[in-house]
Amino acid sequence: MLNYWDQLHHVLTFRFPCYNARSRRSWDKKMKATFDILAFDADDTLWHNESRYQQAKDEFVRLLSAYKPAEHVANFLDEVELANLSLYGYGMKSFTLSMIEAALSLSEGKISATEINSILDLTRRILTAEVELFPSVAETIAALAEQYQLMLITKGDASEQEQKINRSGIGHYFHAIEIVHDKTVHTYQRILAKYHLRPHGFVMVGNSLRSDILPVVQLGGIAIYIPHELTWAHEMDHQGHLTDGMYYQLDQFDQLPHFLSQLQESMTFTQPPTSPH
């Protein structure tokens, strides 16, 4: 039995004699190019990140437990970090400023220079640590790069993110890399305009409902959610309406190639192929 596309080509050939094998090859090529670009989040989508922050937080809590109960230290650090996001942005450097601010407040100014230096040493270790890719990411990205144009969209400190990208070993697969202050509808609109991309041809893959999924859904793009167990709670707290059916969800990164292939086949085309003259 002919599949849907073969049946459609058969009808076009019967109805329009000028529609020939060359026309079919041309349209087949357009079919394969349904997605303008395949974009990825970086932290906790391609490589481990939140686990590093959790490590830093645990060490900070141990350090400040001499001044306040551990649970109070942890909760206060969370409050300070969230309050500082609009000022410092995302990244380990901004997190360090929040740790120092929290330490000064929790210790009522009594924290020593040695203890402050311990916080800075912790930051240095994390900033210089090896980038640890999630299983199958390297092979999957390499395979996808042979079929699609890839883009990386990550938020945080530019120099910090650039270093991670360079150390990841997969940076060369991306056609474009965007390091942004935050991920909002406006951010994605700017990126789409910059690269002349259509919203319905834009695919975003990420682990954050707040940053990778909701804005893309609101924009009219295709969002693929791959949850990670250590995703920062802030990234799960989205102010918007998201329900099943508005985005896709996968359990593992290596499911992407097959899923994208199926998604392409299921997409309908609003414009028929142009009859050759």
pLDDT digits (tens, 9 = 90+) for 27-77: 444 444 478 999 999 999 999 988 888 888 999 999 999 999 999 999 999
Q: What is the pLDDT of residue 241?
A: 59
Q: What is the pLDDT of residue 50?
A: 86
Q: What's the CA gap between 76 and 224, in Å, rounded?
A: 33
Residues in a beta bridge with 150: 38
pLDDT in tens, 205-218: 999 998 999 999 99
Q: What's the CA gap between 24 and 39, in Å, rounded?
A: 29
Cα pseudo-dihedral 33, 36, 38, 40, rounded to 10: 180
pLDDT in tens, 132-163: 999 999 999 999 999 999 999 999 889 999 99
Q: What's the CA gap between 222 and 34, in Å, rounded?
A: 12
Q: Residue 239 is encoded by which pair of tokens?
A: 């102010």
Long-range CB pairs of 55-61 (<8 Å, 24+ gap) are 55/126, 56/92, 56/95, 56/99, 56/122, 56/123, 56/126, 59/122, 60/99, 60/102, 60/103, 60/119, 60/122
Strand order from edge to edge, sheet including 248-249:
176-180, 150-155, 37-40, 202-206, 222-225, 248-249
Q: What is the DSSP letter of 275?
A: P
- What b/e sequence results for 94-116 when a residue is b if at least 16 CB atoms lie within 10 Å of its CB, and e otherwise? bbbebbbbbbeebbeeebeeeee
SS3 assignment, position 120:
helix
Asked if residue 167 has pLDDT above 90, the reply is yes
Model confidence band, residue 25 (pLDDT cutoffs 50, 70, 90)? low
CA 271, chain centre distance (Å): 31
Domains annotated for the chain, with CATH where assigned, are 33-48+132-266 (3.40.50.1000), 50-127 (1.10.150.240)
| Alpha-carbon separation of residue 53 from 43, 61, 231, 235 (angstroms) | 11, 12, 11, 14
Pick from 103, 100, 204: nearest CA to 148: 204
Strands (E), 88-156: 150-155
What is the phi/psi pair of residue 152, to 5°? -115, 125
pTM of the complete model: 0.76
pLDDT in tens, 175-231: 999 999 899 999 999 999 999 999 999 999 999 998 999 999 999 999 999 998 755
**For the residues 236-255, what does the mean pLDDT come to?**
72
Angle at 63 between CA 58 and CA 68, to 5 degrees: 95
